[in-house]
Amino acid sequence: MLEWLHGLSGERVMETIWKPLLRAKFDGGFEKVPATYIWSRLVRTTSSHDKGSRELMCFLEGGYMQLIQALAADIIKRGGTINLGATVEHVRAQHGRINGLTVDGQTLNGDGVVITTQTPVAQRLLPREFAGQHERWGRLNEYLGIVCVTVALRRRLSPYYTLNITDSRIPFTGVIETTNLIDPQYSGGYHLVYLPKYVGAGSSYARMSDDELIGRFRAQLLQMFPDLREGDIAAVRIGRERYVEPLHPVGCTDDVPPIVSEVPGLFLANAAQIYPQLTNGESVVAHAGHAAQAIVAALRPAGQGHSLPALVPAPAAD
Ligand SMILES: Cc1cc2nc3c(=O)[nH]c(=O)nc-3n(C[C@H](O)[C@H](O)[C@H](O)COP(=O)(O)OP(=O)(O)OC[C@H]3O[C@@H](n4cnc5c(N)ncnc54)[C@H](O)[C@@H]3O)c2cc1C
């Protein structure tokens, strides 16, 4: 990718734009990123512009919660059950076949499981007897994590939705002011600014205490925007996640974990299977539809309709 970008842009643009942006996005390790990544970003940028080159963006009033609640209501209407706050401990198996889950110490019987967590989490849920499947999923299971400081301001910070950062002294990847798209009436009158930092497995930022992280990010923000005052900051929150951005090094396309596994009744559907498109809400929803079709097709005996059997709580004696 670097060679290709260098040929397109020349040395100066490479050093001042591309390398700093890639360094920020991949926490330094961008040498193995394929050219298709840049291609996907260019496709996304051009596809969000109208014929007059105006960028078009939209938002859901009330945020993603509106969509989640509508989906949940429809799942329940169709006879589904949703267990919030439940931790799946492991997938259960007997004689080489799936026979349910253990959820918060409770056994759920069933002969089909679709895991939708990130791949390393899915690997941890597998019983020991599926070592082959564990190895197959392990061929491509690296992710970047993220720490994201969210700041609620009493005033607007800048006129921009996104400021990409190329200055390596600044710890965050960008300044995303979502209230330049979303009317602040939907965020209690506050202006919302996200300061994300993508972090590799060994990053010191991933291990930093909340106080130190907030201190560093806040100081940098005040330095970047000298007219911003401490009193303008109404609240600061931190979000952390170890597995966010699935990495697809060049030459590893064949290692993408398949939806239909080698174990009868076991399926995996996650964002690491989305390639070369970028992962976001839109591509995740499209992938979920594709995964559902693949799973139904795998379960259907030749010429017959068949749906995934529901998981049912096991009798107490089990
Ligand atoms: C800071 C940030 C901002 C973003 N902004 C946008 C945006 O503006 N627009 C957009 O389109 N996309 C955005 N994205 C990307 C989007 O959030 C992801 O692409 C999407 O959430 C991926 O969905 P997913 O279902 O694959 O994974 P996740 O949303 O991560 O879902 C996985 C779920 O599995 C659960 N889980 C894990 N282990 C277990 C277990 N053992 N038992 C039970 N449950 C378990 C987790 O709690 C989690 O809820 C953003 C991402 C980040 C990090």
Residue whose Cα lies nearest atom 27 of ligand 1: it is: 117
Ligand 1 atom with least separation from CA of 148: 1
Q: What does each C-alpha distance from 17 to 8, 11, 88, 165 come to in angstroms?
A: 13, 10, 43, 9
Q: What is the mean pLDDT of residues 160-178?
A: 93
Ligand 1 atom with least separation from CA of 125: 41
pLDDT of residue 317: 38
How sure is the predictor about 303, in pLDDT bands with cuts at 50, 70 and 90?
low
Mutate which of 113, 284, 285 for ligand 1? The one with the most ligand atoms within 8 Å of its CB, which is: 284
Residue 305 has pLDDT above 60, yes or no: no
Residue whose Cα lies nearest atom 48 of ligand 1: it is: 117
Angle between helices 2-9 and 35-47 (to 10 degrees): 50
Please give the full DSSP string across the chain, using - where no structure is assigned: -HHHHHHHH-HHHIIIIIHHHHHHHTTT--TT--HHHHHHHHHHHHHTB-TTS-B-----TT-HHHHHHHHHHHHHHTT----TTPPEEEEEEETTEEEEEEETTEEEE-S-EEE-S-HHHHHHHS-GGGHHHHHHHHTS--EEEEEEEEEEESS---S-SEEE---TTS-SSEEEEGGGTS-GGGGTTPEEEEEEEEE-TT-HHHHS-HHHHHHHHHHHHHHHSTT--GGGEEEEEEEEEEEEEE---TT-GGGSPPSB-SSTTEEE--GGG--SSPPSHHHHHHHHHHHHHHHHHHHS-TT----PPPPEEPPTT-
Span of 45-54, 69-78, 111-120 with lowest mean pLDDT: 45-54
pLDDT of residue 202: 87
How sure is the predictor about 281, in pLDDT bands with cuts at 50, 70 and 90?
confident
**Is the CB–ligand 1 distance for residue 271 below 6 Å?**
yes
Amino acid occupying residue 90: H
Q: What is the mean pLDDT of residues 110-123?
A: 96
**Is the CB–ligand 1 distance for residue 196 below 6 Å?**
yes
**Which tokens sit at 207?**
């291990």
**Is the CB–ligand 1 distance for residue 270 below 6 Å?**
yes
Rounded Cα distance, 24 and 199, in Å: 9
Span of 170-174, 178-182, 208-212, 278-282 with lowest mean pLDDT: 278-282
Q: What is the mean pLDDT of residues 160-168?
A: 92
Prediction pTM value:
0.88
Domains of the chain (ranges; CATH) run 2-47 (no CATH), 87-141+249-313 (3.50.50.60), 143-246 (3.90.660.20)
Q: What are phi and psi of 35, to 5 degrees?
A: -65, -25
> Any idea what the Cα angle at residue 273 is, between residues 40 and 42, rounded to 5°?
5
pLDDT of residue 312: 53
pLDDT tens-digit map of 143-158: 999 999 999 999 999 9
Distance 34 CA to ligand 1 centre (A): 23
Please state, rounded to an integer, the average pLDDT across all residues of the chain: 90
pLDDT of residue 316: 45
